[in-house]
Structure 1
Amino acid sequence: MFKLRYKWYRLTHWEFWPMWAVYLPCIFYYFWISLKSRSFGFFKAVNPAIVHGGMTLEDKHFVNQLLPQRYRAKSFLVTSGTTHDAVENIIKENELNYPVILKPNNGCRGRNVELIRTREKGKRYLRDYGNEDLLLEEYIDFPNEIGVFYIRFPHEKKGFISGIVEKKGIMVTGDGRQTLKELVKYNLRYHAFYSEIFLDGQHNGNYIPNENEQLLVSSIGNHARGATFYDASDKISSKLTELFNEICSSVKGFHYGRFDVKFNTWEELENGENFKIIELNGAASEPTFIYDPGHSYFFAIKEIMKHWDYMYTIAKLNKQRGHHFTNIEECWKILKEFNPFLTS
C-alpha cells in the first residue's frame, strides 16, 4: 500500500519529475530565441568569463577562483588519481578540519557530493570516485543555505536579484513510536533517500525520537539529494541586492547565474557578515525557487522561459560588444555531455 501511495505522490508532485519532463515545453522557446539570435550557442556570450558561459559542466575550481577569497569557502582542486595521503596534506597545510566536502569538479544536481566526517570516509570516497578531478571544500557550518539568482545587463552598472531559494535538508519529526529508519523510510518525500542516509552508519537508525523531536539526517542542500526548496524571494531587499552588486563588481565577465550561499542570519547577510559562497553557477543555472512545493508546474515553466529571455538579451548585448557565440560543433559536444533528456 505504501509503495502505491509513494508512486502516486511522485507522479502528482511535478518537482520530482525527470528533468526532461520538466524542460520539454521549454525546448520550443529555446529554439525560438536561438532563431532570433541566429545561433543555438548564444549562451557563450552570457558570461564571457566562464567557458561556454557556464552552460556546460564548468570547471568549478576555475569558477571559484573568479570570486575574491573573502566571499567564498576555501576550496582546492584534487586531480584524478590523487592519493588519500596527498589529500590529507592539503587539509593539514590549509588548516582545514573535518568535516570537509568532496565533490566532482565537473558535476551538477548533487552528483557524488559528500560530507566527509572522517579520514576513513575520505579514503572510501577517493577509492569510489577518485578517477575524476574533485573539489575539496571547507565545510561551512552556518545554519542557513540559499541560492541567489543574480542578473546584470552589460550596459548597466548594477544588477538585480530575480529570486531566492531557501534550502532545507532532510529533517524528520519523531512521534515517540517509530524508529529513525521508519520515519525516513515511510516518509513520502524522503523514502527515495532511505538507503543512502543510513549507508555510512552516521545515524542510529534504531533510535526512537521523542514526540515532536526534530532530527536533521542530511544537510546537503540539493533537491536531487532530498532537500526541500522554498521560494524565499520575499527576502530580496535593497541591502541584499547591493551586497551582490558589490560581489559581482569584482567578477569581470559575469552577468547571469546563481550563487549558493551559507549564512548565519538574514540580518547579518544583508550587512555582509557571517556568510560564505559555496558555489557559483553560470548559464546552466536553474531558478531553483521554482521547486517550492507550493508552486505549480506552469509557474515553473514561465520562470524558466523568463530567465532564458534574460539570458538571450544579455548574450545579444555582449555580442554587440565583440563577444562570440558557441559554434554548432561545440554545441553538439555540449549536448552530448549535458543532455537533460538523458537525465532522470
Structure 2
Amino acid sequence: MKKKKLPLFIVKWLSYEYWPFWLFFMPLVPWWIYLAFRARSFTYFTAANPGIEHGGVFGESKIDILKKIDSKYLPKTLFFKKLTPCEIVTQELKNLALEFPIIVKPNVGERGNEVEKVENAAALDRYIKRSKEDFIIQEFVSYDIELGVLYYRFPDSDKTGITSIVTKEFLTVTGDGKSTIRELMEYNDRARLQLESMTKRLGAALNEIIPEGEKRNLEPIGNHCRGTKFLSGMHLLNDQLVNVFDDVASGIDGFYFGRFDLKVKSVEDLYKGENIKILELNGVTSEPAHIYDPSYSLFRAYKETAENMMMMYRVSKANIKQGVKVTPVFEMARLIKTHFGREKNETVNQSMTT
C-alpha cells in the first residue's frame, strides 16, 4: 500500500535543503557581521580569490575561471557569445571532435540554472535561441562518480585543506513493470518536486512503463535544486586527497578558496589524481554542499557552515594582509542588484520547480 503523500509545500519546509538561499542564511547574518567587524570590512570575502572577479561572489565568468585550470583536468570545452548561429556552433563541435550528447550552460549562473544535456543539433538550436546568454558547451562526461570538493589554501603559508566533500546521487526511479515513470515519481517526494519541470521537458515520455527492476536516471545534471540527493563524502577525506587538490590548485593563479565540481572514474583514480574532469570551479560563495545530506540536522548544518565561513574569513584576511584589495561596498551593492535582477528574470523565463 502506497503511503499518503504530503503537500509539496510541507515537503519543502520540512527539509532545509529546499529553503530559499536567503532564508537558510538569515540566522548566520550575525556571524557574518562579527567576521566583518574583525576584518574591518563588510566585503572582506571578496579578497579570498584575487584571481577571480570579486572573489567569485556571483556574476563571475565560468570560462575565465576554467581557462586558469590545467587542461588535463578539463572536459572538452567551448565558449560562444549569445545567439551564435547553431551552424557555427556545430562546426566548432566537429572541429574539436565533440559529439552529442553535450552539456550546455550559461557562462554566468549558479545552482544548475539553464544547464542542459543536449542530445542533437535541433535541441541545441532551440537552447541557443531561448537562452539569449553567452554560453559554454562541454563534452558529456559519463563517469559515474560526481563530487563537490571545497578546498582552501593560504597565500602566506603552505597550509591547505578541504572543508567539504559532497557525493551526488542522481534522481532515479526503479520500474515495477506496471507503473509509468510519472506514477513512480508521484510516490517519491524528491521526484515529485521535479515533476512539473520534467513534464514540460519530457512530456509524453513520462508515460513510459519501465520494466521491473530497471533503474532510470531522470536528471543528468547534478544539482540538488534539480532532484540530485547530496550526501556527505567526508569519509573520503585524507592527506592523499588534499595532496591531489594541492596539485590541481597550485597552477590556478589567484585562487585560494572554492569548490571544485567534478566527475571522476573511480575513487582509486581520485586519490591518484587521474581521470578527473573538473566541470566548474566556484568561488567564495561556494556552499559546503555536504550539509544537504538528509541525515544532517539543521543545527549541524549551521555549525559546519559557520566553520566554513570562518575558514573563508581567515583566507580572505591573509590575502588582505598581502595587499589584496576588497570590492568597495557601493560596487558590491550594484553587483547584488544586478545579480538578483538577473535571477528574477531567469525565474520568469525558465521552467522552475514548485
TM-score under structure 1 normalisation? 0.94
Query: Any idea what SS the aligned residue of 1:107 has?
Result: coil
Question: What is the CA–CA distance in structure 2 between the aligned matches of 1:20 and 1:175, rounded to whole Å?
Answer: 40
User: Is structure 2 residue 153 aligned with structure 1 residue 152?
Assistant: yes
Do structure 1's residue 102 and structure 2's residue 104 form an aligned pair? yes
Matches within 5 A, 1:129-168: 129=131, 131-168=132-169
Residue of 23, 32, 39 corresponding to 2:41:
39
Match of 2:25 among 16, 23, 26: 23
User: Structure 1 stretch 150-159 or stretch 214-223: which is displaced more?
Assistant: 150-159
SS state at 1:82 partner: coil
Distance 1:224 1:39, change over 3 A: same
Matched with 1:175 is 176
Q: Which residue of 2 aligns with 1:249?
A: 250
Paired residues of 1:56 and 1:337 also in contact (CA < 8 A): no
Query: How far 1:164 moved relative to its partner?
Result: 0.5
SS for the counterpart of 1:101 is: strand
Partner Cα separation in structure 2 for residue 40 and residue 228 of structure 1: 34
**1:50-80 C-alpha deviation (Å, 9 max, x unpaired):** 0111112210000000101001122221112
Alignment match of 1:55 (pick from 49, 54, 57): 57
**Partners of 1:203 and 1:217 within 8 A in 2:** no
1:41 shift after superposition: 1.2
Equivalent in the alignment of 2:331: 330
Displacement after TM superposition at 1:300 (Å): 1.5
1:128 Cα deviation (Å)? 0.8
Partner of 2:265: 264
1:70 aligns with 2:82: no
SS of 1:239's equivalent?
Answer: helix
Mapping for residues 192-341 of structure 1, pairs under 5 Å: 192-201=193-202, 204-338=205-339
Alignment-mate amino acid for residue 101 of structure 1: I
Q: Which of the numbers 112, 120, 130 marks the counterpart of 1:128? A: 130
* Aligned counterparts of 1:195 and 1:9: Cα–Cα separation in 2: 15
1-structure distance, mates of 2:177, 2:87 = 44
Query: In percent, how many aligned pairs have the same letter?
Result: 34
Counterpart position of 1:189: 190
Aligned counterpart in structure 2 of residue 89 of structure 1, from 88, 91, 102: 91
Q: How many aligned positions are there?
A: 343
- Cα distance per residue 1:254-275 (max 9 Å; x no partner): 1100000101110111112222
Q: Distance in 2 between matches of 1:141 and 1:241?
A: 25
Measure how far apart 1:198 and its partner are: 4.3
The answer to which of 267-276 and 224-233 deviates more is: 267-276
Distance 1:339 1:303 in 2: 26
Tell me the TM-score normalized by structure 2: 0.91
CA separation in 2, counterparts of 1:203 and 1:78? Answer: 32
Amino acid in structure 2 at the alignment position of 1:266 = V
| CA offsets 1:289-330 (integer angstroms, 9 cap, x no match) | 111011111112112211111111111111111111111111
- Letter matched to residue 114 of structure 1: E
**2:10 matched to which residue of 1?**
8
Q: Secondary structure at the match of 1:189?
A: helix
Unaligned 5+ segments in structure 2 are 348-353
Q: What CA distance in whole angstroms lies between the structure 2 residues aligned with 1:78 and 1:203?
A: 32
Deviates more, 1:181-190 or 1:214-223: 181-190
**Aligned partners of 1:316, 1:336: CA distance in 2, in Å?**
26
Specify every segment of 5 or more residues in structure 1 that has no aligned partner in the other structure, as ranges. none
Q: CA deviation at 1:200?
A: 4.3
Asked whether the 8 Å contact 1:153–1:255 carries over to 2, the reply is: yes
